[in-house]
Amino acid sequence: MSDKFEKLNRLREEALLGGGQKKIDEQHAKGKLTARERIELLVDAGSFDEIDMFVKHRSSDFGLDKKKFLGDGVVTGFARIDGRPIALFSQDFTVFGGSLSEAHAEKICKIMDLALKTGIPIVGLNDSGGARIQEGVVSLGGYAEIFLRNTMASGVIPQISAVLGPCAGGAVYSPAITDFVFMVKNTSHMFVTGPNVVKTVTHEDVSFEDLGGAETHAAKSGVAHFAYDSEIEVFENIRKLLSFIPLNWKDKSPEKEFEMPSGEQGFNDDLTIPKLDDIIPDNPNKPYDMCEVISLLVDKGDFLEIHKNYAPNLIVGFARIGGISVGIVANQPAVMAGVLDINASSKGARFIRFCDSFNIPLLVLEDVPGFMPGTEQEWNGIIRHGAKLLFAFCEATVPKVTVITRKAYGGAYDVMNSKHIRGDFNYAWPTAEIAVMGPKGAVEVIFKRDIDSAEKPEERLNQLLNEFIEKFANPYIAAERGYIDSVIFPRETKLKLVNAFQLLKTKVDSNPKKKHNNIPL
């Protein structure tokens, strides 16, 4: 019996070494961690339960029959983060450069299938040279099997990808289908075709970093939702992200204890925030930072921003209000006046649909002058992309609360979770301007003849502008019609939101039965 135990010990020790100590040293020399070191840093201590440790590839061509490693380049299993279960895989670059073989793919597919059956999130730690060329179409088939499971799991369980090294060719499409992508600056790279092929085909001379580095994908392409300086930061923020979201579409997000404070006569003094009264500048064209509003409204100022460097004119991310996990969608007046463009529309739509898939309530903070004008936007499909954002808000059945802080002009007023598209509670600050367009533009259109024929056109314009602002550039006409549920002092906003989200915990809404919708992609 002892011989059999000894054999098991020996095989385990061999598997733990991956491609061998030399390859491990090379990985460390690049500033990268090994597959198992990454798992240890990500999950709760001692919680990882590995499966398929002894799997080997089954190929014999090109001398592969003489090169077999236990695990075949990927570590798979189950673990816990903050006591909650997850499934995960971690590609091992020390074995064939983490390249994907048939057996490698089968291991990943097995845990994906189990994650789907048990209703738990899946986290993929990607560090791979791509398909194992020696296996040919078998490795390509392995990728397709993974892509299918990514698609089937979409909206059922959260899927998170961390790209911690190279990710090229077909390998990029699995992270692209998942809900959130993390990358490490100067270490991670994603591209469909590498710099050498690009130079051959298009004659462009571009570096790995410029073509597909973390900062490129976090700021330009929007492929990466997060880019951090180290793997440690990636793991910390994966843990933080998971703290806001449920295990599956039927589950609820973790709710933290929140004691509703009350002062004299039951008034909630501790939830009033006087500083909010001073946020909006007197000049309606002067910017302010919506991030400051968010930090004052959310519990303990704790906000995890998603896509921070991509389309920064729209802010999205997770926070808690009254202990309840919410997704925040907010215009950013400090960037491009908070206007909606193609990238912001797609960014917002994707985030809203994730929240709706996983029962996460939405808070919309609105200060939007409209959609970005110009030939570049029109020719590249601002109508179609703007429709994505509208579509996402319309179809969402989760609790939806909007606060208009200042501008809500034109079609953007409708799109940003207006009452007309099933907003549950719609509030406005006294500084809100709800109109078809900005006051100056409206006056110039409506009173063009009057202004042109006036003895002093500029004076007449200013007179009419002041009258128009007084009558129309305010929230009260919308409130009279019930489009705004209440005009509130900014300082009251937190109290209103806490009450709203508590009340909406039992909200039930639905969409017509269908196979699936056809969002204007």
Q: Helix H segments across 30-121?
A: 35-42, 102-118
Give whole-number Cα distances, 518 to 350, 391, 515, 521, in Å. 14, 10, 10, 8
At 247, phi and psi to the nearest 5? -75, -30
DSSP class of residue 372 equals P
Q: Report angle CA 166, 172, 178 to the nearest 5 degrees.
A: 120
In one-letter notation, the amino acid at residue 347 is K
Q: Which helix (H) or strand (E) holds 227?
A: strand 226-228
1 C-beta neighbours (distance < 10 Å), count: 5
Q: What is the pLDDT of residue 292?
A: 97
Catalytic sites, residue numbers: 169-170, 411-412
Side-chain half-sphere CA neighbours of 14 within 13 A: 15
138 by DSSP, 3-state: which? helix
Which residues of the chain are modeled with pLDDT < 70? Answer: 60-65, 261-269
Q: What is the pLDDT of residue 262?
A: 63
Q: Which helix (H) or strand (E) holds 365?
A: strand 362-368
Q: Which two tokens stand for residue 152?
A: 């089937």
Q: Which two tokens stand for residue 198?
A: 């690009």
Q: Are 260 and 294 in contact, with CB atoms under 8 Å apart?
A: no
Q: Report angle CA 470, 400, 421 to the nearest 5 degrees.
A: 65
Crossing angle for the helix pair 231-244 and 35-42, to the nearest 10 degrees? 40
d(CA 74, CA 15) in angstroms, rounded, equals 11
Q: Are 185 and 227 in contact, with CB atoms under 8 Å apart?
A: yes
3-state helix/strand/coil string of 363-432: EEEEEECCECCCHHHHHCCHHHHHHHHHHHHHHCCCCEEEEEEEEEEHHHHHHCCCHHHCCCEEEECCCC
Domains contained in the chain, CATH given: 2-244 (3.90.226.10), 264-437+474-505 (3.90.226.10), 439-472 (no CATH)
Write the pLDDT tens digit of every residue in 187-236.
999 999 888 888 899 999 999 899 999 999 999 999 999 999 999 999 99
Write the pLDDT tens digit of every residue in 300-356.
989 999 999 999 999 999 999 999 999 999 999 999 999 999 999 999 999 999 999
d(CA 197, CA 205) in angstroms, rounded, equals 10
d(CA 512, CA 174) in angstroms, rounded, equals 31
At 99, phi and psi to the nearest 5? -65, 150
Q: What is the pLDDT of residue 265?
A: 47
Residue with tokens 């060719």: 169
Q: What is the pLDDT of residue 462?
A: 84
Q: Helix H segments across 397-438?
A: 410-415
At 103, phi and psi to the nearest 5? -65, -40
Q: Are 56 and 100 in contact, with CB atoms under 8 Å apart?
A: no
d(CA 26, CA 17) in angstroms, rounded, equals 13
Q: Are 101 and 108 in contact, with CB atoms under 8 Å apart?
A: no
44 C-beta neighbours (distance < 10 Å), count: 14
Q: CA nearest 364: which of 387, 322, 392?
A: 392
Residue with tokens 């011989």: 3
**DSSP line for 184-213:** ETTT-EEESS-HHHHHHHH-----HHHHHB
